[in-house]
Structure 1
């Protein structure tokens, strides 16, 4: 796994654990309203998957890599077996996680997933109006003492989320 660092949100509830996996171009914070609803009863973990949000960028971007990242998060946080919710690409990751690491998955919920996964016809996937690849604006996941405040506008749910959650980084073991 090369020591890759991942950002994640942790609602900090007493359990049981729910791992929420976003789709392509998403990030863990899309599950903030979900985590706020059962606050105090469940622990919701929502990582920024590799190449997304504040997690380290760079490939490989394969189903196998995403699955091993999710398994590593659950093991590092001693969170398994967990219910796993996957949206879109996260649904494919959730299916494979359950198949390859059944000891880590208690239940499976998949939403809005396709069974086809193919390379986009055009590269790069995102381009600017000038036709150049769009550079990532996400910052790498930094230790808590070095993280900068989010530039996300504060709304009622983000204020509640921030007050109830811990978050952090974890690094996968270097092989």
Structure 2
């Protein structure tokens, strides 16, 4: 079911599946994607969970407010969970969605039961990035791309320090040698985090679908 909610002065569109009284699980897409990036995975996890799949601000059918601080994106999801009367949730985030997930765990620790970070952007300055070049792609706000790219290149130093405060059990998935990100940096900084490498590149869930689901299921069952 596709639903809408007004949070923090903006409108979020989100998909909801599964039993509303089951444990909540939130799937957070990467940059320029939307909730459809999780098609198929939604149904898989909905067998045992109340699955919530939002379009982040600046993406899909959610509002394009023009300002895109990653911590504010995390606050959007926290407000959505509160509005849905979700007390605690497992967060699964890919790339930018992973960064949103760990910011939520830092800023709203009581809301996070478990954390799965799939090749998430670490809060370390990313070097050697090619300049953003706009094309005719649609479905997202190009201002969001520019704003988040700036944050990837020049993250607030407090963000990295904040990872040490994360108390939720955490699984860090790395795409291995073919990925442009070093997910191991997150595993090193988050207390007790488990690092699993799947040689799939950045799009682990799309490239190695079964291995991704197995790793997440094993973590949730542990």
The TM-score normalised by the length of structure 1 is: 0.66
Q: Post-superposition shift, 1:101?
A: 0.4
Relative to structure 1, is the Cα distance of residues 122 and 2 closer, same or farther in structure 2, using a 3 angstrom cutoff? same
Kindly indicate whether structure 1 or structure 2 has the higher relative contact order, using CA contacts under 8 Å at least 6 residues apart: 1
The partner residue of 2:15 within 9, 21, 28 is 9
Q: Post-superposition shift, 1:113?
A: 1.5
Q: Secondary structure at the match of 2:80?
A: helix
Residue matched to 2:135:
127
User: Could you tell me how far apart the structure 2 residues matched to 1:44 and 1:135 are?
Assistant: 26
Relative to structure 1, is the Cα distance of residues 92 and 117 closer, same or farther in structure 2, using a 3 angstrom cutoff? farther
User: Could you tell me how far apart the structure 2 residues matched to 1:117 and 1:7 are?
Assistant: 31
User: Could you tell me how far apart the structure 2 residues matched to 1:67 and 1:137 are?
Assistant: 18
User: Could you tell me how far apart the structure 2 residues matched to 1:39 and 1:95 are?
Assistant: 22
Q: Secondary structure at the match of 1:37?
A: helix
Deviations 1:10-69 (A, max 9, x none): 003241000111110111122231121143421110000000000011221111211110
Residues 25 and 50 in structure 2, CA contact (< 8 A), matched pair in contact too: yes
User: Could you tell me how far apart the structure 2 residues matched to 1:10 and 1:86 are?
Assistant: 16
Structure 2, unaligned runs of 5 or more: 1-6, 142-222
Greater share of residues in helix: 2
Q: Secondary structure at the match of 2:26?
A: strand
The TM-score normalised by the length of structure 2 is: 0.53
User: Could you tell me how far apart the structure 1 residues matched to 2:140 and 2:91 are?
Assistant: 28
Residue matched to 1:151:
none
Structure 1, unaligned runs of 5 or more: 129-133, 139-175
The partner residue of 2:100 within 89, 93, 108 is 93
Q: Post-superposition shift, 1:2?
A: 5.6
Residue matched to 1:53:
60
Residue matched to 2:150:
none
Relative to structure 1, is the Cα distance of residues 117 and 81 closer, same or farther in structure 2, using a 3 angstrom cutoff? farther
Q: Secondary structure at the match of 2:82?
A: helix
Deviations 1:125-150 (A, max 9, x none): 4224xxxxx66589xxxxxxxxxxxx
CA RMSD of aligned residues (A): 2.5
Q: What is the number of residues matched between the two proteins? A: 132
User: Could you tell me how far apart the structure 1 residues matched to 2:86 and 2:135 are?
Assistant: 38
